[in-house]
Amino acid sequence: MYCVWLAAAQAAALLGVGLLYERTCHRHMAEVMLGEMGCGGLAPPDPQHGGGGAPGAAPSGLGPRGRGGGAGGAGWGVASDREGHALAAGFALGFITLGMGRQAAGLHDLGLEARLR
């Protein structure tokens, strides 16, 4: 159960950052959101420790294949957490660049259109 709440809190935090920097074209935050979309931000599953996270991390309740059945029996897989994380980062990037189009000052050299295809 802990992992499900942690993933939801991370996604909400990403959306909050997007709303905070809405329509600013803040370069660093745009780069951070691009990075979060690519890597997901969550630890890969660790079958030895029963789900996602690093050794010593809080138990996630996920089984070795990320389908539940562990201690908490949450039933959420690490893949769905990563997809939600990437989706929230994408929405945040959209908020940061909202309405700027190709005139986004300071973001032209990032090649957002090409990287998001």
Q: Report the distance separating Cα 59 and Cα 2, nearest Å.
A: 7
Q: pLDDT value at position 1? A: 67
Q: Report the distance separating Cα 90 and Cα 92, nearest Å.
A: 5
Q: pLDDT value at position 104? A: 80
Q: Model-level pTM?
A: 0.66
Residue range of the domain that includes 52: 2-115
17-66 pLDDT, tens digit per residue, is: 999 999 999 999 999 999 999 854 445 544 444 444 444 444 433 333 34
Domain count, the chain: 1
Helix (H) or strand (E) holding 110: none
